[in-house]
Amino acid sequence: MERFIDPLGLPFGFYAILRRKEQVAVKCPKCTGLAYISKGEQGVVVNCTACFHQEKEPEAYRYTASGVCAVCERWFNEEVTDHKQQTHKAVRIACPHCSSVNQVPIRKLAAYSGCYLDFRNERDPIFQLELYYLDYFRGKPVWAANREHLNYLISYISAELREKPAAVIKRTASHSVPKYMKEAKNREAIVKLLHKLQRIDM
């Protein structure tokens, strides 16, 4: 009987992969070939292995208007979301305390980018590129973030006996695997599909 011990944590989340200095496999936005997202000294970048297209993480900023209200003399700091207002040095904004309109300067601040959202709709959360290892089983997505994730899924799903590390209550890597991929009746078809994905860049 094939036995598999599930690793702890969520090692195949987007941020976890980048934090370990590993890569996420995506489809190049120019040629749909194999491209990799990685994090280095210059930030997060995507590099295509086929057409050599390169793209840097888009800069993210937030804009705030802050000052002391001329009427109630209370401090306020409001986020400015109107793109037209963001181009000005100062903006007229209502005080959140007394609703009096004040003209205050706008501050442009770099948005924090140390932590990212996870994969959504089989795309990465920064560039919104479709994952490279992606197929469908009865209309439902079957995907892997990279070859390591693909190998993990094959080992986990094909195993007849799946175990968690002894005396552990925490989540394991299989927590994020959809139920339809775990079901015994789908095992053979899902493993076959994952092996097909494994061969696409060989």
In this predicted structure, what is the pLDDT of residue 168?
65
* Per-residue pLDDT reduced to its tens digit, 85-94: 888 999 999 9
What global pTM score does this model have?
A: 0.72
Work out the average pLDDT over 114-140. Answer: 88
In this predicted structure, what is the pLDDT of residue 110?
67
Work out the average pLDDT over 169-184. Answer: 89
Residue 105 has pLDDT above 90, yes or no: yes
For 65, counting Cβ atoms within 10 Å of its Cβ (0-12 exposed, 13-18 middle, 19+ buried), the class is buried
Range scoring the smallest mean pLDDT among 64-73, 75-84, 113-122, 146-155: 113-122
Q: Which long-range contacts (CB under 8 A, 24 or more apart) does 31-36 make?
A: 34/132, 34/201, 35/129, 35/132
- The DSSP result for 63-110, as a single string, is EEEEEE-TTT--EEEEE---HHHHTSSEEEEE-TTT--EEEEEEEEEE
Give which of 29, 8, 11, 10 is closest to 123, Cα–Cα.
29
In this predicted structure, what is the pLDDT of residue 1?
57
Residue 8 has pLDDT above 60, yes or no: yes
In this predicted structure, what is the pLDDT of residue 100?
94
Work out the average pLDDT over 181-189. Answer: 94
Percent of the chain predicted with pLDDT > 70: 93
Residue 177 token pair:
């695997």
In this predicted structure, what is the pLDDT of residue 177?
94
What's the number of CA atoms in the CB half-sphere (13 Å) around residue 180? 10
